[in-house]
Amino acid sequence: MREIEYREAIREAIIEEMNRDHKVFLIGEDIGKYGGAFRAYKGLLDMYGEDRVINTPISEAAIIGAGIGAAVTGYRPVSELMFIDFAALAMDQIVNQAAKIRYMTGDNLRCPLVIRTQGGAGRGVAAQHSQSLEAWFYHVPGLKVVMPATPYDVKGLLKTAIRDDNVVMFIEHKMIYLLKGEVPEEEYTIPFGVADIKRQGSDVTIFAYSNMVYKSLEAAADLEKEGISAEVFDPRTLVPLDEEALLKSVKKTGRLVVVTEACERGSVASDIAAKVALKAFDWLDSPVKVVAGLNTPIPYNSTLEQASIPHKADIVNAVKEALGK
């Protein structure tokens, strides 16, 4: 099977959906001639014109507000927020408007809006451009939250997101746009709420998403050399969550390590740990471990930045602690 970059898988998904449905359009900053901050929209302005690739001023409130208005009138916009940090400037539109429209109108209005954005640390762009804020949206009823790790997953899930009648927070990681992976040439979609076991194991389940999937796979490979079999569980979508598959994995291994790049306080990881502790207590052979970022703003200094987020060694150590080693 061919291998393509993560960002090229995004581009392919958008082209396929824009060709399939003329009501799909793009709106955001620098998405026209520039092709987007990470070049996922390269060439799309020439292909579809300014009516469907709409370059905006620097106004996140306008980008999301225009997307909501278009969505409730029958279009399927993909509104891009260049950095997830900037969602703070559009939280009223996202949380109080988009997420609640379908409920508050008794399903008379729907909001098929994809909010495509990226987060995470690693590029030295400091505290206002490096946060992992998925927990904000995970907390809000009415929002779906998707965080794909691989080129295969990002293409299939983005196509599903564009076809969904609800608001989808589609969150990518800035460090994986150039990573390559196998992606079929034929069309496919991936349903929401279906996790993927990235690596089978029997001694411990490592729950990880987005860029932490790669660090968890590296940790699992090192652990295997020491005779420890780690299962890497990628939920792919946080909302809806494939809770049944997670509990099945934990029942098999008897241990759970939850990994997130976000700071631990109030994190998705803390909630997952609580869910499993409540629902799988009798299957656990040791307490759930959480590996997370520090409760601090992301530093600009590269050494301090790396010190603030989890790495392979942190995951390895957490697994060993769970195993009593």
The span from the CA of 317 to the CA of 38, in Å, is 34
Name the catalytic one among 22, 129, 139, 311: 129
The candidate with the shortest Cα–Cα distance to 152, out of 122, 172, 126, 182, is 182
Answer for the pair 175, 118: CB distance below 8 angstroms, yes or no. Answer: no
Sheet holding 53-55, edge to edge: 53-55, 24-28, 76-81, 114-119, 167-173, 143-146, 237-239
Question: Would you call 139 a catalytic residue per the annotation?
Answer: no
183 contact partners, CB below 8 Å, separation of at least 6 = 1, 2, 3, 4, 9, 12, 151, 152, 155
* CA distances to 24, 115, 137, 226, 301 from 262, in Å: 32, 20, 13, 29, 18
Answer for the pair 197, 250: CB distance below 8 angstroms, yes or no. Answer: no
Residue 237: strand pairing partners: 146
Instruction: State phi, psi for 131 to the nearest 5 degrees.
Output: -80, 160
The candidate with the shortest Cα–Cα distance to 135, out of 278, 238, 258, 273, is 238
Interstrand relation of 230-234 and 167-173 (parallel, antiparallel or unpaired): unpaired
Q: Is the dihedral of CA 152, 153, 154, 160 positive or negative?
A: positive
* CA distances to 99, 135, 235, 253, 261 from 140, in Å: 8, 9, 18, 31, 20
Task: Supply the angle between the helices 243-253 and 268-279 in degrees, to the nearest 10.
Answer: 60
Tell me which residues are annotated as active site: 129
